[in-house]
Amino acid sequence: MIHLIDNYYLTADNNSYTVGTARKKPDSRVILVGTRYYLSLARAVSETAEIALRDRIAAGEITTLQVAVEELRNIKGQIQAAISGKDVN
């Protein structure tokens, strides 16, 4: 499983990429819940950035369009840096 941003993780099989939020089960296994399926990595990353932004708007962390646009750029940059192996901390 690959961490994308916040609590969103990515995995893949022979047919698609799967993105969801990680949950630890009582038996210590980690599973993805609220999963979404994508045919391309680019689409999985882009849509996860949009979902993370929507989560922050819904939580009241973002209240203006300007901040939303800046935050979307920031989120996409963090995910792209993680994919390319750059340190994002």
The residues spanned by each domain of the chain are 2-84
CA atoms within 13 A on the CB side of 77: 8
Task: For 37-48, write each residue's pLDDT tens digit.
Answer: 999 988 998 899
pLDDT on residue 87: 54
For residue 36, give the 3-state DSSP assignment.
strand
Q: What is the pTM of this model?
A: 0.76
Q: Is 37 helix (H, G, I), strand (E, B) or coil?
A: strand
